[in-house]
A and B are shown apart, each in its own frame.
Chain A
Amino acid sequence: MEKVMQGNYAIARGAWEAGAKVACAYPGTPSSEILFAIANQYKDDIYAEWSPNEKVALEVASGASFAGARAIACMKHVGLNVASDPFMTLSYTGVKGGLVIVVADDPYSHSSQNEQDSRHWARFGKVPILEPSDSQECKDFTKIAFEISEQFDTPVLLRSETRVSHSFSPVKLEERKESTIPLGLNVKDAPKYTMIPIYVRVRRQFVEERMKKLEAFSDEFQHNMMEINDSKIGVITSGICYPYTKEIFPDHSYLKLGMVWPLPKKLITQFFKKVEKVIIVEQLDPFLETEIRAIGFKVYHGKDVTPPIYEFSPDVIEKSLKGKRYRPPKERVNVEDLPKRPPNLCSGCSHRPLFYVLKKLGLFVFGDIGCYTLATAPPLNAIHTTTCMGAGVGEAFGASKALGKEGLGKICAVIGDSTFLHAGITPLMDVVYNKGNSTTLILDNETTGMTGLQEHPGTGFTIRGEPTHRVDFEELAKALGVKHVRKVDPYNIKEAMEIIKEEVERDEPSVIITVNGPCMLHRREKRKFEHPFYTVDPDQCRGCGLCLEIGCPAISWKEVCGEEALTKDGQKRKGVVQINSLQCPGCSVCYQICKFEAIIPGKA
């Protein structure tokens, strides 16, 4: 049977068919759907969990592997930075049950804070890496990765990327086969799994021998495919670059690498003998090119013509490789001048009033990873740093130490509920332990919003929707030693302003937690607003534009002239605002801001 599947769903299917028993992840675009699919479609056969972060996800998966089960941990590219500590040493311990780590890159940073190329982890960690180019390969390579893992006693990386993870293509479905490795732990295996120096040195040798064996395997690997057509030009490529290049240059010869580390040196040598000139097409860094040049081969074209940054497409490859022969499509309209449409906080979002308050207080806001990064855009302009998960808490603390008393009342950190549990607890501990005075705002929207509403330890539900213990943020902050923990209703602007002002000015650590502000897209939790929507009284609106400062998608500006350019009581105005009642959920933030009582409750 064949089914059209998203790449991420195909990876999930591959894990199921391979007999995996444990699957762990922290959500991150473009990888999030893998665990969602496993938890929804294969829950009877695979234990699935949203882990608090990627490090924990990999550790849980590796524990299952040590016990003999096939296990998979999934993350986005920057997630592997978090999980890199166990990753680098798991290369030494090796596995018992197959251990596959899916890492999904995001060229062009569609939803990420950087554009790193995860292939380097394979060379750095001395483990093999497979790179699928469509959904069928996503499934097949996941299964092969488990086999390689067990055969060579190594974790295996499966590198996806946005255009593979989020593309759909047909996949042939097969049945699940249970692993033949018996479950169980044996204390005699301690030298394999206990990385103290004396055992490390033994395993260190094993790693080198393993990589040699893997290189020999790579030369024979059926998914390192040579395709000889016209012998004038041969292209070495992998992953999504293969279908793009093949689309534009169907007659070139190809060496398509399914395994990009270790490199199949013999196969590459054969390819160079069969074609006259070799072009290397790879997205992001010159990973293959550097290695192939290092072997001593002469590469005709590589990063001298293809860009080392951003995402590729058939257009980019055609333009790069054709050079002067490239003919661009004709331009009918200059679309660069059209108004852009960046993503925005949803109408009614509880982050909007909160960031309006931070802006009004004139604070420098150390941000974090989540929807609230959208508050950095105009007109809110209320996030001033974003580095990585959990960074804002430590950064605000560091800035306050640098500025001393001068910083009081001028700085705060904001972090989401899921992000706080991922990486915000330890820096908050540091604030208290090292006698800081910074203020941390936990914006609790009761879900992992940006990546598509995943559960986490603070929601009280597992990935399967089963009720579980719910972390209490207030108790947690107090246990870390924070004496001043306040709760604030983000939709009450006046109260939020007072509480936040008081806490940022306090010369002691403090935490402010938003309450009753669930994500507007939340399926389970809903904030009940007093009125179904708000509307504008055109007689009262003076067109001051104050309500436009919150950047709500439901509020828009309309220029007026003639009679309309005067309010009822004779005040001049250039325009009025209007509220789209279909988009307005009635959060009342604009109503609270308006100074002229021009915004009034609507009736359903």
Chain B
Amino acid sequence: MKDNVTNVLLSGVGGQGTILASDILCTVFHENGYDVKKSEVHGMAQRGGDVTTHFRFGKKVYSPLIKCGEVDYLLSFELLEGFRYINWVKDNGKVILNNQEINPPVVNLGKTEYPKNVVGTFKKFFNGNVFIVYGLEIASEIGDPRIVNIVMLGAFSNFFEIEEEIWERSLLQHLPQKVQELNLSAFRRGRNAL
């Protein structure tokens, strides 16, 4: 039974919209008949701190938290925040990285450097299972840099045999009407990015 559960770890920086993305994941997989559990830490997170969400789906899910080393998919919205969880991923796990750097305070202050060669390190350990998305570029082209989260969700949707229609319907459920068009195009651009 345990083997049936798939573990997705989303990581990013507060304000990047990881939580909305994981809400949508919950709806999509639940509608497809899976038991789902998701857990996140927020409260102070909106203020630029690191944010992680554990999302699990399967026939029966007990814990809302994933064990370290058991992540099947690492969906990272920011390079350093993805790097922080490199040890959490299974050997054959897949890593989907938004190729964006957001400086943490100590780097802004010039006290330390932003880690170098994050993508290369991931490739060293995970070879062909590393997927890079230029989320900020795509989001900016669409006209709103804040929409990186939905671009990433679109890219992530490629890893599952779930109809595009279900993804898009779930996406719309979570969004007010005035931003639906924008988010749909972000999702589709993301889906075509991989």
Contact = CB atoms under 8 A, between A and B. Distances in A.
B10 interface: no
A339 B115 contact: yes
B37 A168 contact: yes
Interface string B156-167: 000000000000
Contacts of B168: none
Contacts of B63: 243-244, 246-247, 314
A316 B167 CA distance: 35
B43 interface: yes
B155 interface: no
Given A166-B40, A335-B86, A4 B26 contact: yes
Interface stretch (A270-278, A528-536, A550-558): A550-558
B114 A4 contact: no
Interface in A133-152: 134
Nearest to A553: B48
Contacts of A379: 109
B115 A343 contact: no
B87 A335 contact: yes
A243 B60 CA distance: 11
A481 B151 CA distance: 57
B176 interface: no
Interface stretch (B65-73, B127-135, B178-186): B65-73
B14 to A, nearest CB: 7
A333 B121 contact: yes
Contact of A339 (B65, B69, B114, B121): B114
B68 A243 contact: no
B64 A329 contact: no
Interface string A149-178: 000000000000011001111100000000
A323 interface: no
A332 B86 CA distance: 7
A374 B26 CA distance: 32
A331 interface: yes
Given A244-B65, A335-B84, A371 B47 contact: yes
Contacts of B45: 343
Contact of A29 (B30, B43, B104, B115): B43
Interface string B52-90: 000000000111111111100000000011011111100
Contact of B44 (A168, A248, A329, A343): A343
A215 to B, nearest CB: 29
Contact of A340 (B13, B106, B110): B106
B143 interface: no
A548 B69 CA distance: 38
Interface of B: 1-2, 13-14, 23, 26-27, 30, 35-50, 61-70, 80-81, 83-88, 103-110, 112, 114-115, 121, 125, 145
Interface of A: 2, 4, 29-30, 110-111, 134, 162-163, 166-170, 240, 243-244, 246-248, 250, 313-315, 318, 328-333, 335, 338-346, 371, 374, 377-379, 450-452, 521, 545, 548, 551, 553, 555-559, 575, 582
8 contacts: A110-B41, A167-B38, A169-B36, A169-B37, A170-B36, A343-B47, A556-B110, A575-B110
